[in-house]
Amino acid sequence: MARATVIRKNAAELRVAPNLRDLDAERAAFSWDAARRELQGLPGGGLNIAHEAVDRHASGPRAAHVALRWLAASGGVRAISYAELAGAVNRFANLLRGLGVAKGDAVFVLCGRIPELYAAVLGALKCGAVVAPLFSAFGPQPLKTRVNLGRGKVLVTTASLYERRVKKVAGEMPTLEHVLQVDGADFRRMFDSSPAEFEIEKTVPEDPSFLHFTSGTTGMPKGAVHVHGAVVAHHATGKYALDLHPEDVFWCTADPGWITGTSYGIVAPLAHGVTSIVDEAEFDAERWYRILQDERVTVWYTAPTAIRLLMKAGAGIARQFRFPQLRFVASVGEPLNPEAVWWGKEVLGLPIHDNWWQTETGGIMIANTPAMDVKPGSMGKPLPGIEACIVHRKNSGIEIVGNDDVEGELALRAGWPSMFRGYLGEEARYRKCFADGLYLTGDLARRDADGYYWFVGRADDVIKSAGHLIGPFEVESVLMEHPAVAEAGVIGKPDPVVGEIVKAFVSLKAGFVPAEELKMQLLAHARKRLGAAVAPKEIAFAAQLPRTRSGKIMRRLLKARELGLPEGDLSTLEGPT
């Protein structure tokens, strides 16, 4: 089939009138103050995410509307109304306050996608606590690192995750005062006896709300600090980029351990008072098509990895299902190949709408919105309230690129409400992200003559596997713990399904011999320490790893060699390799 380079849209033909009809006009008229006025605010002033997400609906006409439809991995379904959610959130908040959790304390959540996770996150926000949701796939090591960096006071988890992930490092997290196992009898008793009314902490827009860890190339994970004011951006982007309307059934497939699963799996849909699908199970092509069909999903937000897996599963499975309710599909996390955009059109009847953002931006910045023509392969255009540009870093500062179609670093004018307010304990690292009032994203991109942005690559070595950022350093550190390992260098190796897989190059200490059995041992060690999501999938032995003169492992060179690409500038390479 011949494929045009642009998918034309006609707003009048869309089944539901889009919230954003004319991007330029809306951009011109937009102000963040006006966006804030679409929310309620706390009685007597202040702003709290949980109030906007739950309480204002629970105390209004949407009290009986379904907030969450939870699909258990075992097959059961539980519909939770806004009023019921408010009760559970308040019980959780009372319970936490009873344990001494006060404004500014850190509450970590390590749960699968179960209803208690939502009550815990929102309950902690109502207490004024800072919430750090973690992937349940994290092994003990990443868990411990993060809890200690964030000075976690309470960890909310389940009995089985406690056994598998927490127990081994329970004594190595000195700030933790309480570990709650939400499926345990003790917890149940405390929860059930907690009142369903709660006096919300009077938070203001600049009070911290979430702590999301993101991976850097060097050093430990960075804790990006977000604030309650971010809800203004979650609401606005839910309206513009996801086109949420009151009767929508919305499904964000991301886990809340990834910021997408918090900003758009919890906050934005609830702030709009819509029904959100929460699936406890992991990806399965047939299950996902069935959910889209049986739950009558209208707006779907997913990721390129998932779309590639669906493509791989074949059109045969898709043809067993029908999606007449589905009206908008969006994706984030990695470049979305044009092929995937077209696949959407053919199999779901709708193109996939790519959008771009980061843990640091807190919410969607650049998007293909429903009424906009889509150029497959492009991330779209900056949303109202967002000013983007392409810059070049110079010794003397930065230079904004005026011309179209020039590659450079993507930058955003600082000041949107969901912008991160710091990297925990790393003021200098935070400041380095800004210059001349711009936030520098670390992504390379270009803008075309129509104002569409195109992703080019990342400016660093961070690996994006199945949509998740993995810092090579964290993986290398764990490999180095093994008695046989002298040094380790970790890269992302392109993979048609998950984008990149984690590949490790390892040199051995004297007395150890490269052998298949040792490789298996290293893989098992890494998996145990890091969890399957972060551990390398491939390991190769090398006599020596290439290093710069300053001692940094040259991951760029490992990668070039792995892929048979030019080795580039080797002037900083140390010695023979």
Q: Which residues lie near ligand 6R9 (CB under 6 A)?
A: 214, 259-260, 332-335, 354-359, 379, 441, 443, 455, 458, 464, 469
Smallest gap from Cβ 231 to ligand 6R9, in A, equals 17
Comparison of 273 and 408: residue with beta carbon closer to ligand 6R9: 408
Comparison of 194 and 331: residue with beta carbon closer to ligand 6R9: 331
Antiparallel, parallel or unpaired: β 249-252 and 275-279: parallel
Q: Which SS3 state, helix, strand or coil, does residue 10 take?
A: coil
Smallest gap from Cβ 365 to ligand 6R9, in A, equals 9
Comparison of 460 and 574: residue with beta carbon closer to ligand 6R9: 460
Comparison of 158 and 214: residue with beta carbon closer to ligand 6R9: 214
- For residues 273 and 57, the answer to whether their CB atoms sit within 8 Å is yes
In order of 54, 107, 149, the CA distances from 122 in angstroms are 8, 11, 22
The residues, any chain, with a CB within 8 Å of residue 476's CB and separated by 6 or more, are 487, 488, 489, 490, 504, 553
Smallest gap from Cβ 358 to ligand 6R9, in A, equals 4
Distance in angstroms (rounded) separating the CA atoms of residues 255 and 265: 8
Comparison of 145 and 260: residue with beta carbon closer to ligand 6R9: 260
Comparison of 140 and 333: residue with beta carbon closer to ligand 6R9: 333
Smallest gap from Cβ 385 to ligand 6R9, in A, equals 18
Smallest gap from Cβ 223 to ligand 6R9, in A, equals 12
Residue the block writes with tokens 């032995």:
541
Distance in angstroms (rounded) separating the CA atoms of residues 94 and 195: 7
Integer-rounded Cα Rg, in Å, for the chain is: 24
**DSSP calls for 33-58:** HHHHHTS---TTS---HHIIIIIHHH
What are 468's strand-pairing partners? 465
Smallest gap from Cβ 357 to ligand 6R9, in A, equals 5
Smallest gap from Cβ 266 to ligand 6R9, in A, equals 14
Residue of minimal Cβ distance to ligand 6R9: 359
Comparison of 492 and 536: residue with beta carbon closer to ligand 6R9: 492
Smallest gap from Cβ 480 to ligand 6R9, in A, equals 25
Distance in angstroms (rounded) separating the CA atoms of residues 41 and 36: 8
Comparison of 159 and 434: residue with beta carbon closer to ligand 6R9: 434
Residue 177 main-chain phi, psi, to 5 deg: -105, -30
- For residues 254 and 261, the answer to whether their CB atoms sit within 8 Å is yes
